[in-house]
Amino acid sequence: MTSRIPRDSRLRLVRPRPLAAAPTAVNQRRPRRPAPRPPEGTPAPVELARMARSGLAAAARVARWADAALGPGGDGATADGKATLSDETAERASAELGLSPAQVRADWDTARLAGLIEVHGDRARPGWRLRAWNRDDSAVLRGWVALFDAWSLAHPEPAEHEPAAVAEVVSAMPQVLSFLQLSAGPVPVDQLLDLLEQRVTELRTERCEIPYGPQPEPVRQPADTPLAPLLDWSLHALAAVGALTYDAAHATLTPLGNWAVWVKLEQICVAAQSPAGNIEQAAEDMLRGCAQLRPNAARAEYRAWLAARPVGSAVTELIDAARGDDALLRGLAFEALRVVGAPAETDVSAVVEEPALRPYALLWLAEHDGVDPEDAHEVLTREEATWLWVDTAAAVADHGEAPMLVRHLESAVQATVPSLLDEVRAVGHPRTVQVLVALAAAHPDPALAKAVRRAAFQVHTGG
């Protein structure tokens, strides 16, 4: 037996991400949808990028200052783990840039929301978009859209507003923006208020909130909160990020705002036209639908699914799906979280201590930190890499074909099959036995298959 086991063959590590498209689905091509054209009068991408650069010029200036003055990963940039600029750094930037500390803080926050600055605890570093700012129009536009998506953070609501009512208005604003986009011109604020009130009423009806049990003395409910002040705040916040212009009587989308709303509507339409109707699905069902797509098509589905719901709840759904028993969905969930990007960092960091999610989370965080995807595996310990190998093999065994499982053998970090089997047995993955049995059944080498079956029996019996 030993003469037929490739003890000295070097097995190279390959990333498990391509397994998102199983061989059974490779030949399933979706009909190509003609590339949609933006509304008539929309400026060309190069002009939109120029507008975005102009609107984010102050933020880019502070980001460049931080890059030069603080250095990569400079200590002490922030006062806490929440990306709040420290007083010392704000004063230093104020003196060197000729700005007030308040303006420095505002520009810092804008740069952070646009991805020009990335903050990890008390360390700040330039985002990849800052590196590409002068040469990559698509990076600039993605940065502006990230700020547009975060409009409620860029211009926080006044403290006196009811948090529940604020959340309802934020959830209802996509419909208001869609109406502005379809109107293609100034819209009276009174008309927008009527639309907002209708949408908020729909949201409350969908929740169907009925108090249960004895009720305390009446308290102020979201339904009692006037929406006009919240609409005023929302429109001012969207104007602050450059999405619209607003006066006391009318609101009008800017060219950038009009284009961004159109892009999001197109994403939703693309998803709605997919055979699985992924945009309407919960995260787990959406991921199952995307398992049948090629990686690029799956990423487009992720973007559309994400565009149709608040980022926070979408990230929570994806992580919950990753906690399930299906290893394929675990890998796909983290692929979708890669599309989310920076807004998912806190949630991904929070699951690092969960054994089933740890290798995926560490790879995600490494890539988010700028590590080359081909080198990200180096952040994993030997044990973590082995656990990930077994988990990926489980996904292949459940959803792939026998030749793919045999090829997966070559992605192990161990240099020889015997050492792989020893470490697989020790790592304690709950699917170890099933994976080894499936590998033994699939492998064409009888001697190697026998060794794998023996390992599976030993794990099963605790030997």
- Higher-confidence residue of 449 and 238: namely 238
Q: Are 322 and 333 in contact (CB under 8 A)?
A: yes
Q: How far apart are CA 87 and CA 73, in angstroms?
A: 18
Query: What distance in Å separates the CA atoms of residue 348 and residue 354, rounded to the nearest whole number?
Result: 11
Share of the chain above pLDDT 90, in %: 25
Q: Which of left, alpha, beta for 242 (phi over 0: left; psi -120 to 50: alpha)?
A: left
Q: Kindly give, in sequence order, each residue whose CB lies less than 8 Å from that of residue 375, ignoring residues fewer than 6 positions away.
A: none
pLDDT (mean) for 355-364: 92
Q: Check: CB of residue 421 under 8 Å from CB of residue 452.
A: yes
Per-residue DSSP letter, 13:
P
Q: Is 135 helix (H, G, I), strand (E, B) or coil?
A: coil
Cβ–Cβ under 8 Å, residues 43 and 255: yes
Question: Is the model's pLDDT at 399 over the cut of 50?
Answer: yes
Higher pLDDT: 19 or 182? It is: 182
Reported confidence tier of residue 463, pLDDT bands at 50, 70, 90: low
Reported as a pLDDT band with limits 50, 70 and 90, residue 322 is very high
CB-CB contact of 435 with 390 (8 Å):
yes
Mean pLDDT is lowest, of 28-32, 96-100, 116-120, 198-202, for: 28-32
Structure tokens at 454: 């023996």
Angle in degrees, CA 195, 200, 201, rounded to 5: 100
79-93, 297-311, 371-385: least confidently modelled range: 79-93
Better-predicted residue by pLDDT, 122 or 216 = 122
pLDDT at 453 over 70: yes
Average pLDDT, stretch 352-358? 91
Checking if the pLDDT of 364 tops 90, the result is yes
**pLDDT the model gives residue 248:** 77
Q: Give the strand order in the sheet containing 74-75.
A: 74-75, 123-126, 117-120
168 pLDDT band, cuts 50/70/90, is: confident
Which stretch of DSSP H or E encloses residue 117? strand 117-120
Q: Where are the beta strands (DSSP E) in 143-270?
A: 187-188, 244-246, 250-253
Mean pLDDT of the chain: 79
* DSSP β-bridge partners for residue 85: 78
**Residues with Cβ within 8 Å of residue 205, at least 6 apart in sequence:** none
Query: Is the pLDDT assigned to residue 2 strictly greater than 60?
Result: no
Closest CA to 3 of 285, 456, 310, 418: 418
The SS3 assignment for 187 reads: strand
**Highest-pLDDT range among 171-185, 208-222, 403-417:** 171-185
pTM of the model: 0.58
